């Protein structure tokens, strides 16, 4: 095995071990999660909130979703890539960026007043960093995190997502 592949494999093993150690606490207490990876971090705070920082687009969102679940945060984490279209108009080239798919009918979001009580400090550009106030989450609600075309965190009424249908360029393009 070449040295670069060995180093990559050992990095993955160490990250997995670090994740496993960080997610297990003895004594039946709620686990305090402190996971710091290159792409993202999750930290349980002493006031009961959970801080999430996403520094890179998530090619494998399952790890972040699992870390949040271990911390008692129901979450759906998705990576939706973006597409580009170019056209030549009036002597110059225009480029449009749009998501590869769009949720049919939109996402089932909680009211804005509820979202702001649960998720604070969210930015829309990388890095995406925010705090989750788990005690303010309504029963059955789910934190939805997306990277790719959009970098967003919001609160959904349930974990049932509508179909994500292939998207095309913006209207009039």
> Greater confidence, 9 or 171?
171
Strand, helix or coil for residue 120: strand
- Predicted TM-score (pTM) of the model is 0.76
Sheet containing strand 152-156, strands side by side: 75-80, 142-148, 152-156
Structure tokens at 36: 């710091």
Tens-place pLDDT, residues 73-129: 999 999 999 899 998 889 999 999 999 999 999 999 999 999 999 999 877 677 889
């Amino acid at each position: 095995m070449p040295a670069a592949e060995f180093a990559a494999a050992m990095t993955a093993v160490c990250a997995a071990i670090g994740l496993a150690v960080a997610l297990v606490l003895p004594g039946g207490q709620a686990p305090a999660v402190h996971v710091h990876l290159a792409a993202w971090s999750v930290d349980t705070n002493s006031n009961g909130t959970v801080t999430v920082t996403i520094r890179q687009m998530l090619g494998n969102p399952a790890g972040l979703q699992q870390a949040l679940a271990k911390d008692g945060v129901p979450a759906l984490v998705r990576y939706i890539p973006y597409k580009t279209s170019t056209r030549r108009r009036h002597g110059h080239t225009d480029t449009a960026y749009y998501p590869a798919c769009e949720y049919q009918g939109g996402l089932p979001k909680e009211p804005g007043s509820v979202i702001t009580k649960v998720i604070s400090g969210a930015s829309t550009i990388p890095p995406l960093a925010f705090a989750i106030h788990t005690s303010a989450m309504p029963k059955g609600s789910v934190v939805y995190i997306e990277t790719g075309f959009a970098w967003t965190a919001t609160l959904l009424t349930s974990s049932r997502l509508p179909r994500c249908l292939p998207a095309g360029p913006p209207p009039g393009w």
